[in-house]
Amino acid sequence: MADMKQIVLKAYCDGLPTPENFALETKPLPEPKEGQFRVAHVWCSVDPGTRSRLSGGDSYAMALPLGKPIDGFSVGVVDASENDAYPVGTKVFCAGGWKTHSIQNGKGFIGKVPDMPVPLSAWIGVLGVPGLTAWFGLKDVARFKEGDRVLVSS
């Protein structure tokens, strides 16, 4: 049986994260059940929003639990499927975590990557949650219009 790898949170971060805060685990590669499909992750995001969750205290989101895989957004390709809507070869973005593979069912945060001339990694960056957060923050919250200016500091 093939294996998958995942990054787990070994210890909460005090200051900048270090390799000692994380562990690399090898697990058996999961097989999809009826209605599910497996995504082979090509890219996993390290979003700014994840940082506060590595410290052990709740902020706008709950702290990540110790010993569990770090969650986050991923983009990849379906490599095994028991779901007709997501056949093998389908490119997707999903909440797959810091793993080489994840099992999905087509519900929640998941979508098919359209055939566009942009890098696959864009779907977890500028076209993913961080980019959409910035876009809606400027357009819907700040209501920026032509001629307005913004300073981006990070």
- Note whether 66 and 58 are within 8 A (CB): no
- Interacting residues of 132 by C-beta distance below 8 A, sequence separation 6+: none
pLDDT tens digits for range 54-93: 888 777 778 888 999 998 899 999 999 999 999 999 999 9
Average pLDDT over residues 96-120: 93
- Residue 50's pLDDT is 82
pLDDT tens digits for range 3-34: 999 999 999 998 899 999 999 999 999 999 99
Indicate the pTM of the whole model. 0.84
- The residue with tokens 């929640």 is 108
Kindly state the helix (H) or strand (E) to which residue 27 belongs, with its residue range: strand 22-28
**Closest Cα to residue 94, out of 23, 36, 55?**
36
pLDDT at 48 > cutoff 80: no
